[in-house]
């Protein structure tokens, strides 16, 4: 089931996720500012990417930071998140362990 991620300044539509029983996929839907996983852009500007399989602890980024006219101030921030894949109760318990938690 596709889940789109529309957002202002993520134009035209940055990402879309697809779920299968034990896998989550994301793809870039012809965005200008890109969809990135672990720092790698999924497709060139304006081109749709192939579905990319996500894993726990991947870092996903939608778009890029947009800098203002002073070339210093970020006026629009990219959206970034650490991926956590939970398919079972055991997965959920493992993710709660202190050594597994980290920040972006």
The pLDDT assigned to 96 comes to 75
Domains in the chain, CATH or no CATH each: 3-100 (2.60.200)
In this prediction the pTM is 0.70
Helix (H) or strand (E) holding 83: none
**What is the rounded distance in angstroms from the CA atom of residue 17 to the CA atom of residue 26?**
4
Here the tokens at position 1 are: 């089931």
- The 10s digit of each residue's pLDDT in 6-65 is 443 444 445 666 666 678 888 888 888 999 999 999 999 999 999 999 999 999 999 999
């Amino acid at each position: 089931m596709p889940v789109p991620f529309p957002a202002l300044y993520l134009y035209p539509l940055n990402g879309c996720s697809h779920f299968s029983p034990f896998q989550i996929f994301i793809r870039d839907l012809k965005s200008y500012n890109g969809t990135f996983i672990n720092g790698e852009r999924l497709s060139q500007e304006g081109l749709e990417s192939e579905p990319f399989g996500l894993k726990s602890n991947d870092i996903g980024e939608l778009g890029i930071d947009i800098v203002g006219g002073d070339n210093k101030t970020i006026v629009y921030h990219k959206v970034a998140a650490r991926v956590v894949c939970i398919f079972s109760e055991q997965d959920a318990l493992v993710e709660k362990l202190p050594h597994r938690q980290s920040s972006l």
